[in-house]
Amino acid sequence: MIATKEMLRCCRRCGLYRTRRNVVIGRGDPNAGVVFVGEAPGEKEDEQGLPFVGRAGGLLDFVMREISFEIPYYITNILKCRPPNNRNPDSGEIERCLPWLISQLEIISPSCVVTLGGIAASVLLPSLKARRISAIKGKFYNTGTTVIYPMWHPAYVLRNKSRLKEFIMDFHLLKVNLK
């Protein structure tokens, strides 16, 4: 992944290179069987150059500890640069950045990709794009090359605390199916 990382750090395929502080490539085990994919880096991620190090990442860590999720994983986002003010990525940015994620997934070759939030699910499961994340999450979708498991984004769960129990249950279902 070295060549890819060097190329990615210099990427100017979309306008987000103008406002980023760091390109946020990913972190975790590059040989992992499961890869989590969120939407885009936020402020802390942009500052530190690492994904899911802010409050949403804190919730993921909390849930993993709660259910003893000890399976090696890699975590990244659809976009590698932060959209200003954490706005949603636009379709042009997604289109230009997606080849980086596809390349990461080809190299890691995980047996399961967990999408976090509606945007990541709609990009990696385009046939289900019209359906709400709440209707498709917590189920496994076989694409022929991998299995995709959509979940809520932890930032959404932070804003909607009543969803936490269900989020933990979805995580537990993932864990028992990855064993």
Residues in touch with ligand SF4 (CB under 6 A): 8, 11-14, 16-17, 23, 79-81, 93, 96-97, 100
Paired sense of beta strands 147-151 and 141-142, if any: antiparallel
- The secondary element (H helix, E strand) that includes residue 118 is helix 118-124
The least CB distance from residue 2 to ligand SF4, in Å, is 17
Q: Which is nearer to ligand SF4, 85 or 127 (CB)?
A: 85
Nearer residue to ligand SF4 within complex by CB, 96 or 131: 96
Looking at the DSSP bridge assignments, the partners of residue 38 are: 77
Which residue lies nearer to ligand SF4 by CB, 4 or 71? 4
Tokens encoding 26: 């990913």
Instruction: Name residue 151's beta-bridge partners.
Output: 116
Could you tell me the smallest distance in angstroms from the CB atom of residue 81 to ligand SF4? 3
From 107, 104, 112, 121, select the one nearest 156 (Cα to Cα): 121
